Amino acid sequence: MTAKTQEKVLTQGNVAAAEGAIQAGLKCYFGYPITPQNQIPEYMSWRLPEVGGTFLQAESELASINMVLGAAATGVRAMTSSSGPGISLMQEGISFLAGMQLPAVIVDVMRCGPGLGGIKPTQGDYYQATRGGGHGDYRTLVLAPGNTQEMFDLTFHAFDLADKYRNPVIVFADAILGQTKEPVRLEPLHPPTQVDKPWAMTGANDRPSRNIRSMYLEGDDQEQLNYTLRDKYERATRDEQRHEVRWAEDADVVVVAFGTPARIALDAIREARAEGRRVGLFRPISLYPFPVDALGALSDRCKKMLVVEMNLGQMVDDVRAAVRHDVTVAFHGRPGGGVPTPDEILAKLKEL
Amino acid sequence: MALKQVYAPPEALFKVRSHYCPGCGHGVAHTLVAEAIDHFGLRGRAVGVAPAGCSVLLYKYFDTDTIESAHGRALAVATGLKRANPDLFVYSYQGDGDLASIGLCETMHACNRGERVTAVFINNAVYGMTGGQMAPTTLLGQRTTTSPAGRRREHEGPPLKMAEILATLDGVDYCERVALFDAKHVARARKAIFRAFESQIEGRGVGFVEVLSACVTNLKMKPVDAQRWVKDEMCSAFPLGVFKDARASKEGGSDAV
């Protein structure tokens, strides 16, 4: 690493994600204003033209995601970002991206729901992000940053993943991650991965014409497409699980949390450790594929788990599915903009 | 006496059997678009955007790159293609439900932005693929499977006149409504589509052609009667003509005044 790459700049999470995309070679951004992610399109509106890309504010999130689909089909790196109701509107296009096997990145900085909801931090859209979200038998790959640096790093990585699997990838953040400023290294640790795109819409000048579609009417072609998708998701489940563990070696109790609650939990865990309790942290970074292998192995060694989320209990289902033994999985959550405090988490740990 | 070839099918169309119903206008409209692709030598850089509807199967006919789009979103997808690679020639092909109902927002905004794309709009006054339901362009009084007593102004409103609406937008360079009910009008439609291609080739903005076409099956008419219905009924609700030609008005000296 050069000295330059170690230089850190005070950067907001949304901007870090946007710059991560720029460094990944983003060519086209299409988006529509919605809080709490507006700094992404605002940054892109001047930054992307600087590097020869195209920024266009679309008339809606429906248009945004379908513009992303068109741009991605030409083989360039394309993305959008949104929140809550905007991500709901995009589900049509995300389903088409998955069915047409097109790579794209969607940064989802959540806001509360259901409905219009408020703009306080939440993680209420875990199911929507990790279960596919739109119609059809598909998944989106989901990466959950835990700090501002990871807003940059994981958005950068999301483009490599999208190209590798020809599938939409969601960078999944809460409003605290989107808004918090921290010192960030705004350069990637490696160059973006270049892949051939022998399916891209480039014009049939010196080759047979190509077609990209998701509808297959003949024979069992549609069923075969779904098996192709399944094979991809199985490959991703084998190769792309990501997580972080802290103090897990001797832990009787492990707190499982992603995003901002994982960071809050660290304070509670430090206090618990100071009181002599053997508590650790498991932070899923890939939410789909969920890090079942590491969490399953951890469940061999600990007695109890406490899942902390900013919702009424969504990831906890994946945790319960991943643990291998008779491990107690407790839950503490705050929905609708409520943020769990270290004291709440500590009290819950003492209850266990 | 030596034979002289006076016509050949366009290179941009595959030589395959059509799945369209006998008497349907799609075959003629496909041919006209393909002739334009040939004429301007665009096959090697053209991308066709297919809608949801009967012509979702565009890829079976056009020997250019083609991509499917979600219902109504063709001009958003076309925007993405063209913005990502301005060297592509991007043509969209949509029906009335697609362009004028569910996709009206994407249609209006793409036209308002003046995207360098060519939009072919097939108006046959019904939802064809789903079985003849009422379309945004169904005529007043026209019976469909979801307006069994006929479309009523006070209940569903009158049919949307897309050519008139889009001609008001600055981003539209050329806007014409044509029909396919006889050879003379097919020739006129061909000319309109060629002109709409030039809007994109010359980087002037959207070239838009609304094509009145017969959905024989859902009109439940014989092909000849369906053509007569387009001529008599549709053409009085949807007058044919050029609604906007920005190039001609500029060349005509309106700026010189």
pLDDT in tens, B165-218: 999 999 999 999 999 999 999 999 999 999 999 999 999 999 999 999 999 999
Both A249 and A218 in one domain: the answer is: no
CA distance A61 to A53: 20
Identify the DSSP state of A135.
S
Sorted by sequence, the CB contacts under 8 Å of residue B39 that are 6+ apart come out as: B194, B197
User: Using CB atoms, which residue from A60, A70, A211 is nearest to B79?
Assistant: A70
- With 0-12 / 13-18 / 19 or more C-beta atoms within 10 angstroms meaning exposed / middle / buried, residue A120 is middle
Instruction: Using the predicted structure, report yes or no on whether residue A306 has a pLDDT greater than 90.
Output: yes
Same domain as A26, residue A51: yes
Q: For residues A187 and A171, state if they share a domain.
A: yes
Q: Which two tokens stand for residue B81?
A: 């293609």
Same domain as A112, residue A227: yes
Q: Specify the CATH number for the domain of residue A317.
A: 3.40.50.920
A80 and A220 in a single domain? The answer is yes
- CATH code (residue A119): 3.40.50.970
Structure tokens given for A317: 């289902």
With contact defined as beta carbons under 8 Å apart, do B234 and B125 qualify?
yes
Q: Which residue from B minimizes the CA distance to A94?
A: B70
Residue A204 per-residue DSSP state: S
Contact B131, B220 (CB under 8 A): no
- C-alpha distance from A94 to closest chain B C-alpha (Å): 11
How distant, in Å, are the alpha carbons of A126, B8, B9, B16, B34 from that of B5? 64, 7, 11, 21, 19
B255, pLDDT greater than 70: no
Same domain for A64 and A182, yes or no, is yes
CA–CA separation, B116 and A246 (whole Å): 54
Residue B158: exposure state from Cβ atoms within 10 A (0-12, 13-18, ≥19): middle
Q: Give the residue-averaged pLDDT of A307-328.
A: 96
What's the domain range around A80?
Answer: 3-204+211-239
Residues A255, A233 share a domain: no
The enclosing H or E element of B40 equals none
Distances (CA, A) of A262 to A144, A269, A270: 11, 10, 12
Query: Which residues of A are less than 8 Å from B119 in CB distance?
Result: none
Note whether B44 contacts A212, CB cutoff 8 Å: no
Distance CA B162, CA A52 (A): 35
Specify the number of domains making up chain A: 2
Residue A4's pLDDT is 54
pLDDT of residue B257: 33
List CB contacts (< 8 A) between A66 and chain B. 69-70, 73, 76-77, 80, 106
For B14-64, what is each residue's pLDDT tens digit? 999 999 999 999 999 999 999 999 999 999 999 999 999 999 999 999 999
Report the DSSP pairing between strands A141-143 and A286-288.
Answer: antiparallel
- pLDDT of residue B134 exceeding 80, the answer is yes
Where are any strands of DSSP class E within B172-245? 172-179, 206-212, 241-245
Domain identity same for A216 and A321: no
> Cβ of A54 and B83 within 8 Å?
yes
Q: Report whether A202 contacts A196 (CB < 8 A).
A: no
CA atoms of A136 and B250, how far apart (whole Å): 50
Angle formed at CA A283 by CA A279 and CA A287, multiple of 5 degrees: 150
Interface probe for A, chosen from B83, B107, B115 (most Cβ of A below 10 Å), is: B83
Structural domains present in chain B:
26-252 (3.40.50.970)
| Distance (Å, whole) CA B121 – CA B94 | 5
Residues of A with CB under 8 A from a CB of B: 27-28, 30, 54, 56, 58-60, 62-63, 66-74, 76, 78, 92-93, 96, 100, 201-206, 209-215
Q: Is residue A333 scored above 60 in pLDDT?
A: yes
- Indicate the helix (H) or strand (E) that contains A82: strand A77-82
Look at phi and psi of residue B123 and say left if phi exceeds 0, alpha if psi is from -120 to 50, else beta: beta
Residue B13 is classified by DSSP as B
Same domain, A298 and A197: no
Mean of pLDDT values over A18-43 = 98
d(CA B95, CA B99): 6
Query: pTM value?
Result: 0.97
What CA–CA distance (Å, rounded) separates A294 from A298?
6
| Confidence class for position B254, pLDDT limits 50, 70, 90 | very low
At residue B2, the pLDDT reads 85
B80 touches chain A (CB under 8 A): yes
Contacts of B68 in chain A (CB under 8 A): 96, 100, 211-215
Residues A170 and A267 in one domain: no
Residues A194 and A267 in one domain: no
For chain A, the maximum distance between any two Cα atoms, rounded to a whole number of angstroms, is: 71
Q: What is the pLDDT of residues A156-213, one digit of tens each?
A: 999 999 999 999 999 999 999 999 999 999 999 999 999 999 999 999 999 999 999 9
Shortest Cα–Cα distance, B143 to chain A (Å): 30
Shared domain for A220 and A295, answered yes or no, is: no
